[in-house]
Amino acid sequence: MAVGVELIAPCGMNCGVCLGYLRDRRKCAGCHGRDANSTASRARCTIVNCALRQSTESGFCYECPKYPCRRLRELDKRYRTKYSMSMIENLEFIRDHGLAAFVEKENERWRCRKCGGVICVHRGGCFNCGESRTD
């Protein structure tokens, strides 16, 4: 399963590797998915609902005058510490190389080497076969 540009959140998160998106029960459609207020976490997310970010041309946080804001820095720290993913690095890659190049890189980074499935960022292994992620 390849991730498309519609699954890249304004904060730089690849929603396609998120447990909320991958699971079958109470599945999240991603930050740009239909019915954007269907999940409580998305409805409460200060980044998705940020008026400053929404007024940017790209819709991504890197264009915001407050970039990186306190909320994004906190999210980035948590994901770097727990999941070896940096939202700020993702956003800077998107800014410098474009969204299509980022999606291509992400599809390779999060592809299971054993079965070709998706590595879940939150579980650290393939969502299909359980193979552990190797960096």
DSSP letter at 75 equals H
pLDDT surpasses 70 at 112: yes
Rounded to two decimals, the pTM is: 0.87
| Structure tokens, 7 | 């699954």
Percent of the chain whose pLDDT exceeds 90: 62
What is the chain's mean pLDDT, rounded?
87
- 3-class secondary structure, 14: strand
Per-residue model confidence (pLDDT) at position 59: 87
How distant, in Å, are the alpha carbons of 14, 93, 117, 128, 129 from that of 74? 17, 19, 30, 30, 32
Contact 123, 6 (CB under 8 A): no
- Band (43; pLDDT cuts 50, 70, 90): low
Helix axes 87-97, 70-83, angle to 10 degrees: 110
| DSSP output for 90-119 | HHHHHHHH-HHHHHHHHHHHTB-TTTS-BE
Per-residue model confidence (pLDDT) at position 40: 59
| Structure tokens, 13 | 């998160």
pLDDT surpasses 50 at 100: yes
Contact 121, 78 (CB under 8 A): no
Interatomic CA distance for residues 43 and 41, integer angstroms: 5
Domain boundary assignment for the chain: 5-126
